[in-house]
Amino acid sequence: MSGSNDAPRGGSGWRRPSVILAVLAVGFAVCTVLRPAPPAPVEAPNQASAGLVSEFSGVATVSDGDTIRIGTQRFQLDGIAAPTRTVRCGDVNVYRAATDALRDVTRSRQVVCRISNQPDAQGQSRARCRIEDVELNAYMVEAGWAREWPRAGAYAEQEAAARAAERGVWSPSCPADVWGP
């Protein structure tokens, strides 16, 4: 037998499965290399006691010394408490004085509020609100028309300054129980 060939008929029949496997391996390798990496987990921004869920802006209507409305949304200023309706310091109705102070600083100005996802005890939205570079929550505490509440340290410096200067409810004419029992 002259020139016998061990290869089966059809020429390269025994090589086909290995060629197919090689093509598949190369295709898999290319897909693996070219596949985009999964996105890195995004860290939530560092927020105070509550998460940020939305932001509202507009001209505010003042309800009282620590509550405003923007459109139909009503917000409790987060981290502070203003005097209640019945509180007086000598001849001064401090509830009205606190309300007027907030009304004066917000009058016809654009207010931006960042809303917390944790409502207050009555289910009302809480917010940190600003007019340009003035945070209203801190302003009310430093002016003496609100106090830091709950006592978490967010506005401790502002309250200490108001107490030292005897501003607002920290004046000598205010009773020691101005905030209630």
pLDDT digits (tens, 9 = 90+) for 84-129: 888 889 899 999 999 999 999 999 999 999 998 888 778 889 999 9
Provide φ and ψ at 158, rounded to 5°: -65, -40
What's the pLDDT tens digit per position in 142-176? 999 999 988 788 999 999 999 999 999 999 888 87
Q: Quick one: pLDDT at residue 13? A: 53
User: Could you give the C-alpha distances from 67 to 11, 76, 78, 120, in angstroms and in order?
Assistant: 88, 5, 9, 12
pLDDT band at 177 (very low <50, low <70, confident <90, very high): confident
Average pLDDT for residues 3-11, to the nearest whole number? 52
Residue 27: pLDDT over 90: no
Task: Retrieve residue 18's tokens.
Answer: 């290995």
Lowest average pLDDT, out of 28-32, 43-47, 128-132, 133-137, goes to 43-47
Bridge partner residues of 77 (DSSP): 127
Q: Are 178 and 94 in contact (CB under 8 A)?
A: yes
User: Could you give the C-alpha distances from 179 to 32, 91, 140, 144, 174, in angstroms and in order?
Assistant: 66, 17, 15, 13, 10
pTM: 0.69
Residues 123 and 139: their CA atoms lie apart, in Å, by 24
User: Nearest Cα to 76, choosing from 132, 118, 48, 131?
Assistant: 118
What's the pLDDT tens digit per position in 62-77? 999 999 999 999 999 9
Q: Quick one: pLDDT at residue 33? A: 44
Q: Is 61 exposed, middle or buried (0-12, 13-18, 19+ CB in 10 A)?
A: middle
Three-state DSSP class for 102?
A: helix
Q: Are 56 and 71 in contact (CB under 8 A)?
A: yes
Sign, CA dihedral 84-62-54-45, equals: negative
Containing H/E element for 68? strand 67-70
Summary mean pLDDT of the chain = 79
Residue 55: pLDDT over 70: yes
